[in-house]
Amino acid sequence: MARNDSGKVYQDKRTKAEDFKSSAYTLFIVGVLGIAALVLIETGLLPFQLAAPGKYITYVVMGALFVIFIVMGISSFVSAKKYAGEAETEDALTARIKEWVRANMTADGIRQQAVFGEDTPEEERYFQYFDMLKDAVSQEFGAMNTSYLEAVCEELYAELFESVDGES
């Protein structure tokens, strides 16, 4: 995965695929229903009458709009399929990272490696522990999207530290 230091909140590929899929259905259905409505209005099957001077301009503009909706819907289906494929790869990488961390790292091990003064606030300790976890994952798995790395490490941090701290 490429690095991304833009600071954006990470959204996993599976969620993106679902978002694109729902958008695709919405756009496609609205486009098809809109064109069908225009045809039904013109044939007189729907009881709407458009004024003669602007009637065909309205049909052209609305027809173009509905065609654009259909094209955007198809494009969203393609994007959804692409992200669904990427989601499989991402899920496998996430599982490998989590498995490796569970096998090789513990909250106590991270705490022992950290160097603090006695009056170091808890927030600073969190950030140093979190950075140590991120660095370990990056060293083992190479450079990856920063927001993805942080999202996975947040889950792992909670799993490592909060389960241990909750038991004490």
Domain spans of the chain, in order of start: 13-167
pLDDT at 7 over 80: no
Please give the single-letter amino acid code of residue 61.
Answer: V
pLDDT at 148: 92
CA distances from 90 to 3, 11, 151 (A): 14, 12, 12
115 vs 148 pLDDT, higher one: 148
This prediction has a pTM of 0.69
User: Which residue is listed with tokens 């996430």?
Assistant: 94
User: Which residue is listed with tokens 């600073």?
Assistant: 124
pLDDT at 165: 55
Report how far residue 149's alpha carbon sits from residue 167's, in angstroms, rounded to the nearest whole number: 27
CA distances from 64 to 12, 20, 24, 30, 163 (A): 34, 22, 18, 13, 57
- C-alpha closest to that of 158 among 102, 103, 90: 102
Provide DSSP, 97-139.
HHHHHHHH--HHHHHHH----TT--HHHHHHHHHHHHHHHHHH
The pLDDT-based confidence of 3 (bands split at 50, 70, 90) is very low
Report how far residue 112's alpha carbon sits from residue 110's, in angstroms, rounded to the nearest whole number: 5
32 vs 158 pLDDT, higher one: 32
Highest mean pLDDT among 47-51, 130-134, 160-164: 130-134
Cα-flanking dihedrals φ and ψ of residue 118, to 5°?
Answer: -65, -30
Chain segment 94-121, per-residue pLDDT in tens = 999 999 998 998 888 888 888 877 788 8
pLDDT at 73: 97
